[in-house]
Structure 1
């Protein structure tokens, strides 16, 4: 129920953000309708994925890409995702006992503050993500395979763009992805609500056109 409330709130806010954009579709003083950004991004999963178990998953760095359609100079819709998989070492008290890989993709409504030509432009976003989990390699006593379902849920974004020219800009952003996974062995669920819930920090370069 908690996750449903989060998803409902994210969908409602995204709708409220996007609605004025379509009403003001012609209001684009900069003349720029699209932007793309390539970033180097750190993704760090929840430090306590299983309640009551001493298990942790390391973070990793991977390239991410985003493409945004700008309804006007302040409101846009962004498609963001990892261009490669993040690899996470899974550790316990005795050290590393496995690895998993993740690859998120998200669609968000964004609001960019200020005028298009000002040097620094902070922005916020809210939307929905789906994170593909793959290549689970987790050691078990009987050698059976442990798989994880794909976390999905709300994503929140904060960031700032620094204009370099009317076309080029630098970007720094942080994101939080809400979503849990279930652990399965031989088709049977052995643990529910494994907290993935990662945050990301990215630095990149972008272009508007």
Structure 2
């Protein structure tokens, strides 16, 4: 029997192939997306411990020695799509001595009519400065829940490690930018990172 006598089956096979390809691609993309989300907590912890990607460090207290060297710290605030919050720094920048404990804060408002929990992710630029930017207290250490229309002031206590001035790459650095982005979360959980765990620094010989 010739192919000309069976156009319908061939047409059906063509339609099947045309549908199967995008469906397979979509399934693959969904699998990759799921894997990416599953890896986020481990990746975040890795970054917080190592300073990779401009992630800051955690500390119990500021050092006793304060350097004469100063650096400008700038602050940035963002909210992810779908989070109806207003979020901005109360100070756009501060000039600090390396090693000096500094207090700043962010202003946040829940503009919705329902309680919402958010988690702030953060980094600093330049990325190499993340290893020397230490937070003693920060709203980003745990998720934050705001009631409908609630306004809050969210504090940060930090210092920039004086050892930053001993690194060839950063010794002439004049400014650091600390950036936060709040994301909505369904199941709030604290962000865990041991203070200064795995902290390694290179110094000039």
Q: Give the TM-score of the pair, scaled to structure 1.
A: 0.31
> Which structure's CA Rg is the greater one?
2
Q: Give the TM-score of the pair, scaled to structure 2.
A: 0.31
